[in-house]
Chain A
Amino acid sequence: MADLILTQSVLDKTKTEIENALIKAGVNTVLLIDEAGNVVTACKHKTCTLDTTSLAALAAANFGVTAQIAKLIGEDDFSLLFHKGKKDSIHFARINNDLILVTIFGENVSLGLVRLRVAELAKTIEKAFAQIY
């Protein structure tokens, strides 16, 4: 696992893409994290007071654990995970070998829309990060 060096241009581009695809669609919070549990970038509404450090560590661990479950049933990995809450739900999607996109959204946004936008966004982010590897 190589170290990740984030440049201003890649971060700015990623943030803009996330804002346009998800935050403007009504999603509460989007975190781009790496598999070691670091927050690469966080986009959220100003009122949101989420502990992003803890969330990133747990989300990375969650992804790691489900990958192990996947192996037990003969899969390599589950590329997306979804947990449904009473008010808010959380969606995890793998971008590439190192990056995971975490999306937290309320009842006002449908899972279908999130899945569609995340799938498109994943390709854009993957392309943007390809230049810094």
Chain B
Amino acid sequence: MALINLSKKEIHCKIVYYGPGRCGKTTNLLYIYNAMNNQARSKMLTIETKGERTLFFDLLPLNLGKINGFNIRIQLYTVPGQIIYKATRKLVLKGVDGMVFVADSLKVRQGKNMESLQDLHDNLLDYNLNTEEIPIILQFNKRDLVPTPIPTLTKEELEIDLNSQLNTKVFEAAAIKGIGVFETLKEISKRTIQYVARKHLSTNH
């Protein structure tokens, strides 16, 4: 849920990066954090756990400037990807305004991608939401591995697996190198703000 503060003229939106375990959700946030200047970003919050996996969530608050006199503040969240952390993912999804589904291009993760997307649909349904209403875009990550001998999925295969139902915009990325990261962020920010604005700012508040 967006929070619109008419007193401070601020709009707060929540964007969640979703996807299977080890697909690069936190890597996306880390790249954004390192590439942005201090004025636009706040402290990145990572809940300390042992190992590389996100066990709860990561949070990166960003200032995206002004639209119609309103300061746009966006909070980027990641979820833990591993399938067993379903309850935690559902908690993080509470109040979501926009989503990025990060898919893993590795061939061995083909099943995990589809499993995670189904899990997203199920969790949204529990909040009476669906991907037709909430803005969502797809990011095919780890595309830098395509020319290497590691077996990867083609863009067409990923499209068939994940985008046949969503029918949304797709970005190819290599989050570790920053390729496609800002393109993804720009598009989802735009769609999320349009979604919130469409709901509220045309009325007389």
Complex Cα spacing A95 to B4, Å? 19
Verify A36–B200 contact, CB threshold 8 A.
Answer: no
Verify B14–A11 contact, CB threshold 8 A.
Answer: no
Q: Given A3-B200, A37-B75, A51-B43, A11 and B1 touching (CB < 8 A)?
A: no
Verify B3–A6 contact, CB threshold 8 A.
Answer: yes
Q: Which residues of A contact B38 (CB under 8 A)?
A: none
Query: In the complex, which of the residues B4, B57, B87, B94 contacts A3, with contact meaning CB atoms closer than 8 Å?
Result: B4
Q: Given A34-B1, A40-B3, A58-B45, A5 and B95 touching (CB < 8 A)?
A: no
Q: Which residues of A contact B45 (CB under 8 A)?
A: 53-54, 57-58
Residue-wise, chain A 52-72 has the 8 Å CB interface mask toward B (1 for contact) of 011001101100110010000
Interface status of B50 (Cβ within 8 A of chain A): no
Verify A3–B2 contact, CB threshold 8 A.
Answer: yes
Within 8 A of B (CB), among A1-25: 1-8, 11-12
Verify B56–A3 contact, CB threshold 8 A.
Answer: no
Query: Nearest Cβ in chain B — how far from A84, in angstroms?
Result: 21
Q: Which residues of A contact B94 (CB under 8 A)?
A: 1, 35-36, 60, 64
Stretch of B5-13, B26-34, B163-171, B184-192 with 4 or more beta carbons under 8 angstroms from chain A: B5-13
Q: Which residues of A contact B7 (CB under 8 A)?
A: 6-8, 11-12
Q: Given A35-B95, A64-B91, A57 and B75 touching (CB < 8 A)?
A: yes
Complex Cα spacing A8 to B12, Å? 16
Q: Given A36-B14, A37-B75, A61-B57, A3 and B91 touching (CB < 8 A)?
A: no
Verify A36–B95 contact, CB threshold 8 A.
Answer: yes
Q: Given A1-B127, A61-B56, A6 and B4 touching (CB < 8 A)?
A: yes
**Cross-chain pairs A/B with CB under 8 angstroms, 18 sampled:** A2-B1, A4-B2, A4-B3, A5-B4, A6-B6, A8-B6, A36-B1, A36-B3, A36-B14, A36-B95, A38-B3, A38-B12, A38-B75, A53-B59, A54-B43, A61-B92, A68-B87, A98-B1
Binding site for B on A (CB under 8 A): 1-8, 11-12, 34-38, 40, 51, 53-54, 57-58, 60-61, 64-65, 68, 98
Binding site for A on B (CB under 8 A): 1-7, 12, 14, 42-43, 45, 47, 56-57, 59, 61, 75, 87, 91-92, 94-96, 127, 196, 199-200, 205
